[in-house]
Amino acid sequence: MKFPRKFILVFISILFIVSLTGCAKKQEKDLFTKIKERGKIIAGVRYDARPFGFVNEDQQVRGFDIDLCREIAYRILGNRDAIEFQQVTSSNRIFSITSGAVDFTAATMTITPKRAQIIDFSNPYYIAGQAVMVPKDSEINDISDLAGKRIIVSLGSTSEMNIRQMFPDAEILGFRTYTDAFSALRAGRGDAMTTDDTIIYGFILENPEFIMLKERFTQEPYGLGFKKGRETFVLRETIDMILEDLARDGTLTRLKEKWMPDLDNSNNV
Task: Yes or no: say if 173 and 190 are a contact pair by the CB < 8 Å rule.
Answer: yes
Q: Which amino acid is at 213?
A: L
Site string for ligand GLU, 114-133 (x = CB under 6 A): --------------------
Query: Applying CB under 6 A, which of residues 220, 235, 236, 263 lies at the interface with ligand GLU?
Result: 220
Task: Yes or no: say if 120 and 226 are a contact pair by the CB < 8 Å rule.
Answer: yes
Tell me which stretch binds ligand GLU (CB under 6 A): 29-37, 138-146, 154-162, 244-252.
154-162
State the number of binding residues for ligand GLU (CB under 6 A): 11
Query: Applying CB under 6 A, which of residues 92, 96, 110, 122 lies at the interface with ligand GLU?
Result: 110
Q: Per this entry, what is the length of the chain?
A: 269
Measured between alpha carbons, how far is residue 107 from residues 48, 50, 192 in Å? 10, 11, 23
Radius of gyration for the chain, computed over Cα atoms and rounded to the nearest angstrom? 22
Q: Which of 211, 73, 31 is nearest to 131 (CA)?
A: 211
Q: Is residue 230 packed enough to be buried (19+ CB in 10 Å), middle (13-18) or exposed (0-12)? A: exposed
Nearer to ligand GLU, 32 or 96 (CB): 96
Q: What distance in Å separates the CA atoms of residue 156 and residue 54, rounded to the nearest whole number?
A: 19
Nearer to ligand GLU, 140 or 174 (CB): 174
Binding of residue 90 to ligand GLU (CB under 6 A): yes
Binding of residue 194 to ligand GLU (CB under 6 A): no
Binding of residue 196 to ligand GLU (CB under 6 A): yes
End-to-end CA distance of the chain: 76
Binding of residue 179 to ligand GLU (CB under 6 A): no
Query: Applying CB under 6 A, which of residues 92, 105, 108, 194 lies at the interface with ligand GLU?
Result: 108
Binding of residue 92 to ligand GLU (CB under 6 A): no
HSE at residue 1, side-chain half, CA atoms within 13 A, is 3
Query: Applying CB under 6 A, which of residues 61, 66, 109, 163 lies at the interface with ligand GLU?
Result: 109
Query: Applying CB under 6 A, which of residues 92, 105, 157, 177 lies at the interface with ligand GLU?
Result: 157
